[in-house]
A and B are shown apart, each in its own frame.
Chain A
Amino acid sequence: MSRLKTRAGWQSFFRRAGWLESIGIAGVLVVTLVALVAPWIAPFDPDVRVAGAYLPPSAAHWFGTDEIGRDFFSRIILGVQYTFLPGIGIVLVSLVVGAGLGLIAGAVGGTLDHIIERTVDLFIVLPAMLIALATVASLGPGLFNTMIAIVIFWWPVYARICRDEIRRLNALPHVEAARVSGVRGPRLLLRYLLPGAVPALLVTATHDITGVIMTLSAMSFLGLGQPAPAPELGAMTARAMESLTVYWWLPILPAAVIFLICLLANLAGDGIRMALRGA
């Protein structure tokens, strides 16, 4: 990884990733930035009536206006924040929980490994979406409940990947050498084992941004996300579905923005995979 710190390292990283995929990586960074500063870059106040209702897209209002005359572009910019940040949050929490348990399972082995592995099996075999929906239906809709429901069935994948990588790395000479020189405990885990598992986890996590955002927006579409006034992109599509044949931009554009985010994340995942394969 240290090779990446030089400028030549970054150049060869993007060359191996391919130009289309490099755009994906850059695009994900831009989306992250937009999500973080959304309230400040939206051209209009997303909660206030600024023009007539149901205006089609125009130069003044790029994405038109909604049913009460709010600037739809500003609402979608804010929607990126409401959709993307929870998505990233779910991936990160699942990654930390899963990789942590996988690391312990792979490094400690024995009974503990067995218990964690069987638990992972169980979660993988259960119909995930069903359990998630039932969880949210019982706990009540809301951002926090939806995030919990998705994390519950998302972490096992990372646990499996991390555990298998650690088992593989454990047999490699450099780990053995470290162990012989007396390195043990957390230092062995964090300095010698975990870095080797990072590439596989990173590739999966980048691809998973798409999966998580699609799941999250599907749940909001079904009314199991954040409550009504929140400009969540999936929920915006669902609320405007009835007006598809009259005001097409209201249901289509939020969904199209989800598509764009997922496309960029998928390209970024492909790019990182190709770049790390050569590294």
Chain B
Amino acid sequence: MLLYLAKRVSGLVVVLLLMSFIVFGLQSIIPADPARAMAGPTAPAATVEAIRQQLGLEDPVVVQYGRFLTRLVHGDLGTSVRTRQPVTADVIRYAMGTLELIVVSTVMGLLLAGLLALIQHTFGRFSAVRLAIVGAGSTPIFLSALLLVYFFWFRLDWLPGTGRLSIPHFSGPTGFDLIDGFLVGRPEVSLDALRHILLPAFALALPIAVAVGRTLSSSLHDVMRQSYIRTARGKGIGETSVVLRHGLRNAASAPLAMTALQVRLIFGNLLIVEQIFARPGLGLYTVQAFASADLPAVLGVSMVFGTFYILVSILIEIGQSLADPRIAL
């Protein structure tokens, strides 16, 4: 176990180094001039030159990269050109809202995946059901998000379609609004946060549900034909218990791997969903950073998501090993 963790953490460092190298390399070939962007279009040339000196843009690229890495290990991701705040501060401010959304949509996606696997198992021979499941998996994220906004917010007005909270200036101890409301004794805040998170979380959960549900269904289908399932039934164990304890556990590996893949893919969808729902978070921050060629911010968010991505893989691999002890870590 310790050896495994050591191996994975060193892998993490290698991947992060590589990513920083790629993104930094891209940054140095970009035509946009960060000093000019910071000074503003009307600033005199001397000011731009001063800022360029201050940022060290005159130095060779290798020196700049070395400086970037040194700052990186100290937790300093540089200063955002757009917000003029340290990128680390910006990321921390938005990270919790996004993490909250990722956790809620993943849980929702896994629950829906179970339901979907059940539906496919029971009604899979009907073409209409097959079409519906393939259709759910073919929906572009911006279509499902826009339809949710249109029907549940604009038409029916059941749930709010924008933002994280309708209660202004709330900030709690953990940054997770869903929990903070209860922690500070204002349950109406948590309820409001829940109402705001349902629609975006559902939009993000749908692709997870379809991918994991289909994998679960086919993997369970194979497992249920194994002889140990027949033995379990022969021993007189109830069908629910056979499926849950003998079937599901042995069928867990492939769906878990698919979950890992889907949680990694969530980043692209997050950019779109947070934009459509005008929900402050890392996705929206990244979109705005792209729009204003704010490379320190893009680079910072890339590093944060790269770390997150590998941590998820490690967690899932540990989960796979728990479900099937034959998978050594």
> Chain A interface (Cβ within 8 Å of chain B)?
19-20, 122, 125-127, 129-131, 133-135, 137-140, 210, 214-215, 217-218, 221-224, 234, 237-238, 241, 244-245, 248, 251-252, 255-256, 258-259, 262-263, 265-267, 270
With an 8 A cutoff between CB atoms, is B229 at the interface?
Answer: no
Chain A residues contacting B310 (CB-CB under 8 Å) are 125
The CA of A270 and the CA of B137, in the complex, are separated in Å by 13
Chain A residues contacting B130 (CB-CB under 8 Å) are 20
Q: Which of B26, B138, B150, B269 contacts A138 (CB 8 A)?
A: B26
**A133-B290 contact, Cβ under 8 Å, with A20-B130, A252-B143, A255-B143:** yes
Q: Which of A125, A134, A224, A237 contacts B146 (CB 8 A)?
A: A237
Do A218 and B26 have beta carbons less than 8 Å apart? no
Chain A residues contacting B265 (CB-CB under 8 Å) are 129
The CA of A122 and the CA of B18, in the complex, are separated in Å by 9
Do A130 and B267 have beta carbons less than 8 Å apart? yes
Chain B residues contacting A138 (CB-CB under 8 Å) are 26-27, 29-30, 295
B22, B27, B140, most chain A CB atoms within 10 A: B140
**A241-B19 contact, Cβ under 8 Å, with A215-B268, A259-B138:** no
Interface hits, B28-84 → A, CB 8 Å: 29-31
The CA of A245 and the CA of B151, in the complex, are separated in Å by 10
Q: Which of A214, A221, A224, A265 contacts B290 (CB 8 A)?
A: A224
The CA of A266 and the CA of B268, in the complex, are separated in Å by 20
The CA of A217 and the CA of B269, in the complex, are separated in Å by 12
Chain A residues contacting B4 (CB-CB under 8 Å) are none
Do A221 and B150 have beta carbons less than 8 Å apart? no
Q: How far is the CB of A209 from chain B (nearest CB, A)?
A: 11
Q: In the A-B complex, list the 7 residue pairs whose CB atoms are closest, starting with the nearest.
A: A255-B143, A138-B26, A262-B138, A129-B268, A263-B138, A138-B30, A245-B154
Do B138 and A218 have beta carbons less than 8 Å apart? no
With an 8 A cutoff between CB atoms, is B228 at the interface?
Answer: no
With an 8 A cutoff between CB atoms, is B276 at the interface?
Answer: yes
Chain A residues contacting B305 (CB-CB under 8 Å) are 127, 130
**A255-B272 contact, Cβ under 8 Å, with A19-B127, A126-B19, A223-B291:** no
With an 8 A cutoff between CB atoms, is B223 at the interface?
Answer: no
Closest to B27 in A: A138
With an 8 A cutoff between CB atoms, is B183 at the interface?
Answer: no
Q: How far is the CB of B148 from chain A (nearest CB, A)?
A: 11
**A266-B150 contact, Cβ under 8 Å, with A126-B18, A129-B268:** no
Do B143 and A248 have beta carbons less than 8 Å apart? no
A133, A210, A223, most chain B CB atoms within 10 A: A133
Do A127 and B291 have beta carbons less than 8 Å apart? no
Cβ-Cβ contact count across A and B, 8 Å cutoff: 126
Mask of B139-152 contacts with A, CB within 8 angstroms, 1/0: 11111001101100
The CA of A74 and the CA of B302, in the complex, are separated in Å by 39
Do A270 and B134 have beta carbons less than 8 Å apart? yes
With an 8 A cutoff between CB atoms, is B318 at the interface?
Answer: no
**A234-B142 contact, Cβ under 8 Å, with A244-B149, A245-B154:** yes
Chain B residues contacting A259 (CB-CB under 8 Å) are 135, 138-140, 143
With an 8 A cutoff between CB atoms, is B271 at the interface?
Answer: yes
Q: How far is the CB of B284 from chain A (nearest CB, A)?
A: 11
A125, A139, A217, A238, most chain B CB atoms within 10 A: A125
Closest to A210 in B: B138
Interface hits, B265-287 → A, CB 8 Å: 265, 267-269, 271-272, 275-276, 286-287
Interface hits, B117-140 → A, CB 8 Å: 127, 130-131, 134-135, 137-140
Do A222 and B138 have beta carbons less than 8 Å apart? no
**A140-B143 contact, Cβ under 8 Å, with A263-B134, A266-B137:** no
Closest to A219 in B: B268
**A127-B147 contact, Cβ under 8 Å, with A134-B23, A135-B26, A210-B138:** no
**A237-B142 contact, Cβ under 8 Å, with A129-B265, A129-B268:** yes
Do B135 and A218 have beta carbons less than 8 Å apart? no
Mask of B186-225 contacts with A, CB within 8 angstroms, 1/0: 0000000000000000000000000000000000000000
Do A241 and B15 have beta carbons less than 8 Å apart? no
Chain B residues contacting A248 (CB-CB under 8 Å) are 150
Closest to B264 in A: A127
Q: Which of B134, B137, B302 contacts A130 (CB 8 A)?
A: B302
Do B140 and A238 have beta carbons less than 8 Å apart? no
The CA of A131 and the CA of B267, in the complex, are separated in Å by 11
Given A244-B150, A255-B146, 11 extra CB contacts under 8 A: A133-B271, A138-B29, A210-B138, A218-B272, A237-B146, A238-B142, A244-B149, A245-B150, A252-B143, A258-B143, A267-B134
Q: How far is the CB of B267 from chain A (nearest CB, A)?
A: 5
**A218-B287 contact, Cβ under 8 Å, with A138-B26, A241-B146, A244-B146:** no
Chain B residues contacting A244 (CB-CB under 8 Å) are 146, 149-150, 154
A126, A127, A258, A270, most chain B CB atoms within 10 A: A127
Do B143 and A256 have beta carbons less than 8 Å apart? yes
Do B154 and A218 have beta carbons less than 8 Å apart? no
The CA of A267 and the CA of B137, in the complex, are separated in Å by 11
Chain A residues contacting B94 (CB-CB under 8 Å) are none
